[in-house]
Structure 1
């Protein structure tokens, strides 16, 4: 089975549980902490944490650290992919359930922040593709907004911008950045 089919199947598996669908609905337009979601859904925090981990692994949630809380939000770039395109293979989910990529992301991200940019190109590309998923395809971002998004994850935003453009997962012209719509992230 191809990596593309594995990623797509993981996305559908993550969507197959009613509690996970409810969680996505709750974080569609605003961020929420796991504890807050557990209260809203009247579920044990451990149960909600399990579901959030599956949604995150499938690329359906983004997470950021805010003080002592991890805030979750629906990854609209992934969720806006047309269903028919996913089934036909014309589009692939931005995040991967590939075991290697999962290990790389777990090694370099702690509590929603990038600890260090990997020196090895293969690992760096995995991290950069993950960071590119923070941007909606085709949407134009002024440099200050790109800096704000990347600054939530890593302090050296200039290096991240340069590397994202160099890899081709972000494009830049006259201080405006965008994620090309035809750029696969996997």
Structure 2
């Protein structure tokens, strides 16, 4: 059964109401009409169309909803699962950590553990700042605001973490990428 067929069958409000009544346990035409709030004649027309369409069956005088079509439709029309984002590291633990805290080069949130926080921030730092270049505080703030957009941590806090974790050096209002510290990645 195709999704369009199901939608077309259930697009009419009285058919939808009758189908819902059958799904919820109405087993006869009068009980389906009563539960759906429609006349017995309207329920009969709806049941006929739903039966012809394959959503309702009548067995031994009782109505039954055929809901397995919905699972089949979901299985056949579900888009393929997205490939997890790769950040370019061969280490699966680092990749897993970054998938948890980084999406599309933006922080989702900061890890609470310092070791993990350092890995996430080091990832961003080495992709954002160039070795041998110094940056004024305004430029650093602009770059960090991009990372922090939509995160519960502000760019000033992240800037402090970068200095505290020795990822960025700071002196006299100037910042630079620290390359003299052994990377955690």
Using structure 2 for the length normalisation, give the TM-score. 0.48
Look at both structures and tell me which one has the larger radius of gyration over its CA atoms: 2
Using structure 1 for the length normalisation, give the TM-score. 0.47
